[in-house]
């Protein structure tokens, strides 16, 4: 992994952890306790989500690298402040994907199916993590500073999956929707069911 890509992932994870932990100007003490837990869970859920896209794109012989989106980071912080942490904008960056050129400089464009499969990898990672956190919570509920860590992990990963499944470009949902409406509908149904469970 390139140094720049690692830096972009770390900055994005820190900002996302802040917006998930933030709950209003008057709750500074809660933010101090919630931020490390949010950072741990976000680092796992967000970074694995992006690496899921990256690895699958590379299997399709594409160039793939995570890049942060400065405006997305600023928007995430601004929306967190305006809504006192009640709404999370979770689009701090994305994996940039380009088909590789051959020796003659020719590139083949990705099919809708390939683009859909690459896009679905991230939300699937979050759904698997959310289910894993729910199972861990049933087996061994862990509370730190008044926060149920595994339930919090399930909530964050469910939200990341659900947000990314919105069928609006450049979110993952738009490419999945364009590829296969039934698969997109099944993914949305699973994410909503998880949100209700959490």
Q: Please list the active-site residues.
A: 50
Contact at 8 Å (CB) between 152 and 37?
Answer: yes
Bridge partner residues of 65 (DSSP): 96
Range 95-107 burial, b when 16+ CB lie within 10 A, else e: bebebeeeeeeee
Contact at 8 Å (CB) between 126 and 157?
Answer: yes
The SS3 of residue 96 is strand
Q: Which helix (H) or strand (E) holds 95?
A: strand 93-99
| C-alpha distance across the termini of the chain, in Å | 34
Q: What CA–CA distance (Å, rounded) separates 120 from 56?
A: 10
Nearest to 160 by CA among 131, 192, 126, 134: 126
Nearest to 150 by CA among 140, 158, 160: 140
């Amino acid at each position: 992994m390139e140094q720049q890509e690692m830096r972009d992932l770390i900055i994005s994870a820190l900002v996302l952890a802040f917006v998930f932990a933030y709950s209003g100007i008057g709750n500074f003490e809660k933010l101090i306790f919630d931020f490390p837990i949010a950072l741990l869970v976000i680092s796992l859920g967000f970074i694995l989500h992006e690496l899921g896209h990256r690895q699958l794109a590379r299997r399709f012989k594409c160039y793939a690298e995570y890049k942060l989106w400065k405006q997305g980071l600023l928007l995430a912080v601004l929306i967190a402040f305006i809504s006192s942490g009640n709404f999370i904008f979770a689009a701090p960056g994305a994996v940039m994907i380009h088909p590789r050129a051959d020796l003659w400089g020719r590139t083949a464009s990705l099919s809708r199916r390939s683009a859909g499969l690459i896009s679905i990898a991230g939300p699937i990672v979050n759904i698997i993590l959310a289910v894993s956190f729910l199972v861990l919570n049933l087996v061994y509920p862990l509370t730190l500073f008044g926060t149920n860590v595994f339930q919090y992990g399930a909530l964050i990963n469910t939200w990341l999956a659900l947000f990314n499944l919105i069928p609006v470009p450049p979110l993952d949902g738009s490419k999945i929707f364009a590829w296969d409406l039934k698969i997109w509908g099944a993914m949305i149904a699973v994410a909503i069911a998880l949100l209700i469970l959490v």
